[in-house]
Amino acid sequence: MAGSRSRAMANVLKYAGSDIMKPEMRAPLASLLSQAYGKPVEINFTNLSQPHLDAGMLATVLKQQLQDRKNTPNKVIRSGVLRVQLPSANSVPSSADHAALAIRALKRKPSLRGVGMRRTTVSQVIEEMKLKKVSSLRVETAGRLGKRMTANRSAFKSSRKGLSSKGPGCIVRGVHPLHAQPALKHGKRRVGAFGVRVTVGHS
């Protein structure tokens, strides 16, 4: 019974293809999952257009691509790194720019919905200084990544953008601390296991 349900679920996914984001295409899949789990199931999909903004999401995407034997490690890693749009040195705010933003925020009139002037201005300053740009990216993978069906040697592949070989870096001017977000994911293929490590630097 479980095998027939899994085959039916695979057929639904194969039929839906790229249209799985549409609600009418998700209804048959939700019905099969409800029968399998014995309770109502609601499916929500999100179109992930920029996975490089989070190290964990990018590591998961690369792991799923590497599990396909048709994809080579070099192609997967390089395509994942080259698609990332890094800011230029002139577009990254310096410490003087952050200070100017803080001064302008303090001069603003407090909102009527705020409890007090101190609480309102502090929230405005924090909103202005959030980390919203990726300044560096490093991807490393190691393990059984060959195309052969038999067991092969372990391979190591890496690629980086916006940093040197010494470690994560930030494209900033002036004094600004480094914020690096690492993530590690493990995957398994027929010939063995592999791992993916992603380090994203924010500025």
What does the pLDDT look like over 45-59, one tens digit per residue? 777 777 887 888 889
58 and 144 in a common domain: yes
154 and 57 in a common domain: yes
138 and 168 in a common domain: yes
> Averaged over 63-70, what is the pLDDT?
86
Show the domain range for 123: 95-128
The percent of residues above 90 in pLDDT, for the chain, comes to 2
194 and 166 in a common domain: yes
137 and 82 in a common domain: yes
- The answer, yes or no, to whether residue 185 has pLDDT greater than 80, is yes
111 and 19 in a common domain: no
How does pLDDT run across 89-139, given as a tens digit for each residue? 666 566 667 677 767 766 665 554 444 445 555 666 555 555 557 778 889
Alpha-carbon span 202 to 170, nearest angstrom: 7
155 and 122 in a common domain: no
99 and 120 in a common domain: yes
The band of 196, judged by pLDDT with boundaries at 50, 70 and 90, is very high
176 and 107 in a common domain: no
**Could you tell me which residues are beta bridge partners of residue 157?**
141
